[in-house]
Amino acid sequence: MRTAILGAGAIGAYMGAALARGGAEVHLVARGAHLDALRANGVRVISPRGDFHVRPHATDDPRDIGPVDVVVLGFKAQHYAGCGPLLRPLLGPATAVVAAQNGIPWWYFHGVEGPLAGRRVTSVDPDGAVSRAIPVERAIGCVVYAATEIAAPGVIRHMEGTRFSIGEPDGSDSARCRDFSAAMVAGGLKCPIERDLRRDIWIKLMGNIAFNPLSALTRSTMAEICRDPIARELAETMMREALEVAARLGVETGISVERRLAGAERAGDHRTSSLHDVERGRPMELDAILTAVVELADLTGARVPALRIVNAVASRLNARLAAAAATAPLASAG
């Protein structure tokens, strides 16, 4: 399978390294010092499951690669709207795009029936730019249960989790999902194909919706939030509100808030990807993880006062970080 990883960061480079280890043809698209290291030394994965090293092709120009069978999007979701020029050279008539992301994807109401069918989630696709850049027909959903970080340029630290659940937006059984899953499994990852990926999206989102913004706002790890009684109560309230939105959209996660909190506590002193972002002076990935859920609450009539307040506060921080990054472009280019 010919695969390109567009935005080969913490998660993308980890998936790419595993796919290459399993025998797939992998091309990494990255930039900056990370790209220099990938070109010079390949990807080193440091993992409690065993370290490994692979040397896939790495570039900043997808025209060097050309059409592939599968593109994995490893960007943060806020970069999807601008990815058209990078994505286009990789697309052949049947290329699938696996969106490995947290939160509500741009394709959320694609492939469903009922009054919301085909509706655009404006928080994640404000003017349709994402749908134009990445046509929903190409999308394969992907819920990431792994936790990784870029420990140094070209070096990925894998902390926990090897599950990447995938699924077609319309729940159908497809050869492209089966092929991608087989390539991931060959690389040592778990890649179940879910007929109802929206349930997985909400199970994962229960954690992210609370821990990602709270960790970024308080500069705390997940375990620190769990140990602080007030922060823990806020996280719990946010999770309950998210579950209510999911239920109104017809999704029952079947997982209690208590169980999800216990899982977060077990993750220990893990820094979320949003905490990594703000520590690097970058806006966190808020639109897909929180703002979209407030939008869906308004759509379904759910009361979400805690989500609304945290979204407003975190948006304020994001605006400041975006303004600071705009006045210091060289520092933020990484």
Ligand X SMILES: NC(=O)C1=CN([C@@H]2O[C@H](COP(=O)(O)OP(=O)(O)OC[C@H]3O[C@@H](n4cnc5c(N)ncnc54)[C@H](OP(=O)(O)O)[C@@H]3O)[C@@H](O)[C@H]2O)C=CC1
Ligand Y SMILES: CC(C)(CO)C(=O)C(=O)O
| Residue 219 C-beta: closest distance to ligand X, Å | 17
Listed residue (34, 33, 30, 22) closest to 4, CA to CA: 30
Instruction: Report yes or no: 298 and 201 within 8 Å, Cβ to Cβ.
Output: no
Residue 70, strand partner residues: 3, 96
Instruction: Report yes or no: 130 and 124 within 8 Å, Cβ to Cβ.
Output: yes
Please pick, from the candidates 39, 79, 190, 308, the single residue that binds ligand X as defined by CB under 6 A.
79
| Residue 161 C-beta: closest distance to ligand Y, Å | 7
Which of ligand Y, ligand X, none has residue 267 at its interface (CB below 5 to 8 Å by kind)? ligand Y
The answer to whether residue 204 is catalytic is yes
**Binding to ligand X by residue 273, rule CB under 6 A?**
yes
| Residue 303 C-beta: closest distance to ligand X, Å | 26
Tokens 């796919």 belong to 19
- Count of Cβ atoms closer than 10 Å to residue 297 Cβ: 21
**Binding to ligand X by residue 100, rule CB under 6 A?**
yes
Q: How many residues bind ligand X (CB under 6 A)?
A: 28
The pair of structure tokens assigned to 158 is: 């894998």
Residue 73, strand partner residues: 6, 99
| Residue 207 C-beta: closest distance to ligand Y, Å | 5
List binders of ligand X among 118-147 (CB under 6 A): 144, 147
Give the CA radius of gyration of the chain.
19
Q: Applying CB under 6 A, which residues contact ligand Y?
A: 102, 147, 207-208, 211-212, 267, 272-273
From the candidates 76, 199, 204, 282, give the one annotated as an active-site residue.
Answer: 204
Which span sits near ligand X by CB under 6 A: 2-10, 185-193, 250-258, 293-301? 2-10
Listed residue (87, 96, 245, 242) closest to 169, CA to CA: 96
Pairwise CA distance, residues 323 & 129, whole Å: 22
Which CB atom, from 75 or from 211, has the smaller least distance to ligand Y?
211
Please pick, from the candidates 47, 59, 131, 148, the single residue that binds ligand X as defined by CB under 6 A.
148
Task: Give Cβ neighbours of residue 117 (< 8 Å, ≥ 6 apart).
Answer: 109
Catalytic residues: 204
Residues that bind ligand X (CB under 6 A): 7, 9-12, 29-32, 34, 60, 74-77, 79, 86, 100-102, 144, 147-150, 273, 285, 334
